[in-house]
Chains A and B, each alone.
Chain A
């Protein structure tokens, strides 16, 4: 166990190149236990890439992500760092829940099977225990009656709530959300945000990539605005969202406020 002062997530000087494009240019970010960090910023700024580096779905080229004091996806041998083998990586990923923009439920498995598979197969839990917790989680996301349904029979909002339940079933110490409401019809966004708010209240540590500035203002302990591969400004929402100092952040917020207004009155 890491000392109590160590934040749950510590991202230190992370760089990522994709083709000729440098997506991340030295990102530093921390999230303490129980904190909610919202990543905002224009599309293409590298928010999703950064999030995917935290559970090593993408490998960063330089810099290290620590979760609970342990470097993710890399092994140190002497002074050199090597990328971990997938099998070892899977053990680290089991501790980190992730929710995707497109839900990515397994369409050939029922809702219940989607939720219990990893607890049984990865954690080695008994089927009975996994089913019991899956039912608890389904009730918590308000879909207790849907356990026998298949993902394609559900609305986008319902699928995303199931996806959250599936991630929680692994009892992760950290939850990552990659634009969880961006693929949803506007009238379905609320039900998913409500589930996430409920999770905030339970004290889960979360890093959320989102376009919902209003939502970030409500739930975030820390808002970090990314622009062009770096974190331009981060801090409590009352500061970053209300009185941003960085001109790029000011421009981004002005633009997204205008877009929100446009959406309300087309």
Chain B
């Protein structure tokens, strides 16, 4: 007798029914997690050290909001700078030109090989090495333009340069990996259709490389958002510097760290959601992209 796959499986069937494997350990795990969560909640409610009313007072204070804004600005500018330079360096490195390739390699080697903190402080103290920055003929020729380094390099420009150049080195490697992940047949087909080199890159290769570039870049953006806190060493008023300034005055260390942590969590959550949307956009036409128009 034949049975259809769509026929209800129960009824007359005498074959033994297979049950999922017993997982008694899981219930124990759930119990332990609930217990730990309850203890944390209890502490958060009861421990006076958290000082929630102080958290509430500072969460939206002008100083903290200024810090949040500065953190966002710096992250955005550093990532734009890092991505633009990074794409350029990746293209140089992938080009067949040995001179460009060498320059790109040297750039990545240097800026990835030295600590960000050192680069940051170095830019900030550029004035002690070059008291003024000028444009002109080198080796003692005439100068067309001159500016004092202490004026040109503010905390913000030092942070931009230090973080941005370091980020560019990492982005160059991420972009290079993405471009390498695209089948070479794609650019051949594009060339064969008469696309110019820039069109081949823009229309065919980059959109496909983005699928491999976006996830690690999201990682970089989120990392950078928090990493901008290192700019507090050159006295830039980003979020971390703002809360440090407040608690060094009021000694409300824990509640202000909580304020900073909450703000970072909020910003990271928004960025993660954005990343998800961008990934969906570049997943167009992929095998796992689900139903399409």
Contact = CB atoms under 8 A, between A and B. Distances in A.
A106 B204 contact: yes
Interface of A: 55, 57, 86-87, 89-91, 93-98, 100, 102, 104-110, 117-118, 121-123, 148, 150-153, 163, 166-167, 170
Interface of B: 183, 185-186, 188-197, 199, 203-204, 207-208, 282, 284-287, 292-293
B166 to A, nearest CB: 31
A86 B284 CA distance: 29
A93 B191 contact: yes
Contact of A108 (B189, B192, B208): B208
A86 B190 CA distance: 12
Contacts, number: 84
27 contacts: A57-B191, A87-B196, A90-B194, A90-B195, A90-B197, A91-B194, A93-B191, A93-B193, A93-B194, A97-B192, A100-B188, A104-B189, A106-B186, A106-B189, A106-B190, A106-B204, A108-B207, A108-B208, A108-B285, A121-B195, A122-B194, A122-B196, A123-B194, A150-B285, A150-B292, A152-B286, A166-B193
Contact of B285 (A89, A97, A107): A107
A163 B192 CA distance: 12
Contacts of B197: 86-87, 90
A91 B192 CA distance: 10
Nearest to A92: B194
Interface of B is mostly: helix
Given A57-B192, A93-B192, A104-B188, A152 B207 contact: no
Contacts of A105: 189
A109 B183 CA distance: 15
Nearest to A153: B292
A55 B193 contact: no
A100 B191 contact: no
Contacts of B203: 117, 121
Nearest to B285: A150
Contacts of A152: 285-287
Leading 10 A-B pairs by shortest Cβ distance: A94-B194, A104-B189, A118-B193, A150-B285, A98-B192, A104-B185, A122-B194, A108-B285, A90-B196, A86-B197
Contact of B293 (A100, A148, A166, A167): A148
Nearest to A163: B189
A57 B188 contact: yes
Contact of B185 (A89, A91, A97, A100): A100
A102 B203 CA distance: 20
Contact of A167 (B188, B193, B207): B193
B284 A108 contact: yes
A74 B260 CA distance: 63
A252 to B, nearest CB: 27
Contacts of A91: 194
Contact of B193 (A87, A102, A170): A170
Nearest to B197: A86
Contacts of B287: 152
Nearest to B189: A104
A55 B192 contact: yes
A121 to B, nearest CB: 6
Contacts of A118: 193-195
Contacts of A107: 208, 285-286
Nearest to A107: B285
A105 B190 CA distance: 9
Contacts of B195: 90, 118, 121-122
Nearest to B192: A98
A109 B193 CA distance: 15
A215 to B, nearest CB: 22
A106 to B, nearest CB: 6
A151 B194 contact: no
A151 B285 contact: yes
B194 A170 contact: yes
**Which of B186, B197, B207, B285 is most buried by chain A, counting CB atoms within 10 A of its CB?**
B285
